[in-house]
Amino acid sequence: MNTYDTGGAANACIRLHEGLLNADVDSKLLVLHKKKM
CA angle 22, 27, 31 (to 5 degrees): 120
Give CA–CA dist 18/9, Å, rounded. Answer: 14
pTM comes to: 0.81
Contact 5, 31 (CB under 8 A): yes
Give CA–CA dist 33/19, Å, rounded. Answer: 22
pLDDT for res 37: 73
**Chain CA centroid to CA 29, Å:** 5
Tens of pLDDT, residue by residue, the chain (37 residues)? 999 999 999 999 999 999 999 999 999 999 999 987 7
